Amino acid sequence: MTKDIIARAGEQVPRYTSYPTAPHFHAGIDATTAAQWVAALPADEPVSLYVHIPYCDRLCWFCACNTKQTLRYGPVQTYLRALHQEIATVGHLLRPDVAVKALHLGGGSPTMLRPDDLVALAGRLRAAFHFEPDAEISVEIDPNDMDDARFEALARIGMSRASIGVQDFDPKVQKAINREQSFALTSAVVDKARRHGARSVNLDLLYGLPHQTLESLTETIGQALSLGPDRVALFGYAHVPWFKKHQTMIDEAALPDGAGRLAQFQKARALIEAAGYQAIGFDHFALPGDPLAVAAREGRLHRNFQGYTEDDCATLIGLGPSSISRLPQGYLQNTPATAQYERLVAGGKLATCRGIAFSQDDRARSWVIERLMCDFGFSPRRAEELFGAQGREIVVEAGQIAGEGADAMLERRDGDFVVRPEARPLVRTLAARFDRYLDVGAKRHSAAI
């Protein structure tokens, strides 16, 4: 199986933060549909919010997010006025007693916002939506943005979780990806985030970067763990220059091959687990007492556009350009072009440009793929109870995959389907076997490992 993993490590497959995946959204789902779906949310349907800030004051060459660099704050102020309008529009559509359980500020760089703008944004959100008293407020932090005023603003908005990008501490690697950030700076930011209210700190690390070696990665892992993060996200660098042109600045000759990426992943995973962290899915880790680890042990783990989460809200409302919403009826996505987004929302309209409505087959396959990604297995009986004929069809498919012999990634164990331990690094490849859309159209994805 090890040889098979190495051979398949470079296969291009989706990350499965949604199903159906975003390349299969279409323009038949528009702003009118979006307004109807949002207005139809029942009062007892809790929601999570994602707010996208599509600006950075520097452009990291490894990044595949929807963002743009600006050295002027004027465009950010213009964008915030439009975002405030979208918040008001969506808030007006929702029933007033729909409760918000979680808010995630992402980007781009949310911490690029000036402190008063950060506080004003939180105020607009709380005025438009009903937040539960203990709602989680998570913020993506770029350490290079931070000063005392921004930390104080984060405390004022009630930040409870800080997600801090590290990537790698090796200066040669940092230069190659245009992300210079010292260990001393990161350490200071982690400490101040905790002192300003963050009950949980997540560090994002990358493997598969240019000039990374097992030795340099080992050093980075050691430094990162010395900061005592509550969670660690270990992502494989997604080299997609056909999608993000700035990645052409990265020297492809300096990137590891599939075998090298696998070796780096296995080394990093072993180091993190040896430090007492529980593996969560295929690329997250958490201290045993962290809510994410507890949810994983209890079978309550979920996966959304921010990765693995204990957030059990079936509804996610995305705000800002390119943001994706998941509602009971299907997915919605805002236009990714910031200027077009601003024009649309200025008139009190939604910025939805595409999406997809769920079929019963979509719901069944989404559940199976999420369970594979979160639990490394699923119950055939539960699939049939939840989805009837569609569930039975997928159970038959799973049986065929499990019957492929010694190289099968899936097996039957005590009546359930279980991913073989040695195949867990390839769980995305296995999930793709259940993806009915994968071969529709010419789509390109990132490497499996």
Per-residue pLDDT of the chain (449 residues), as tens digits, is 455 555 555 577 898 999 999 999 999 999 999 999 999 999 888 999 999 999 998 888 777 777 888 889 999 999 999 999 999 999 999 998 899 999 999 999 999 999 999 999 999 999 999 999 999 999 999 999 999 999 999 999 999 999 999 999 999 999 999 999 999 999 999 999 999 999 999 999 999 999 999 999 999 999 999 999 999 999 998 888 887 788 888 899 999 998 899 899 999 999 999 999 999 999 999 999 999 999 999 999 999 988 899 999 999 999 999 999 999 999 999 999 999 999 999 989 999 999 999 999 999 999 999 999 999 999 999 999 999 999 999 999 999 999 887 778 999 999 999 999 989 988 999 999 999 998 765 455 555 56
Cis peptide, bond prior to residue 405, ω within 30 of zero = no
pLDDT score of 2:
53
Together in a domain, 230 and 280: yes
Structure confidence at residue 443 (pLDDT): 55
Query: For residue 343, what are the contacts with CB-CB under 8 A and spacing of at least 6?
Result: none
Q: Do 363 and 433 fall into the same domain?
A: yes
Instruction: Note whether 72 and 179 are same-domain residues.
Output: yes
What confidence score (pLDDT) does residue 271 get? Answer: 98
| CATH number of the domain to which 421 belongs | 1.10.10.920
**Domain of residue 281, CATH code:** 3.80.30.20
Instruction: State the pLDDT at residue 7.
Output: 57
Q: Is 198 helix (H, G, I), strand (E, B) or coil?
A: coil
| The pLDDT of residue 404 | 82
Supply the pLDDT for residue 4: 59
212 lies in the same domain as 77: yes
CA angle 319–322–328, rounded 5-degree value: 60
311/380 same-domain check? no
Per the domain annotation, does 255 fall within a domain?
Answer: yes
Q: Is 407 helix (H, G, I), strand (E, B) or coil?
A: helix
Between vectors from CA 244 to CA 34 and to CA 354, what angle results, nearest 5°?
Answer: 15
- Specify the residue for token string 């919605």: 332
Q: 363 near 387, Cβ under 8 Å?
A: yes
Domain region containing 424: 359-442
Q: pTM to 2 decimals? A: 0.93
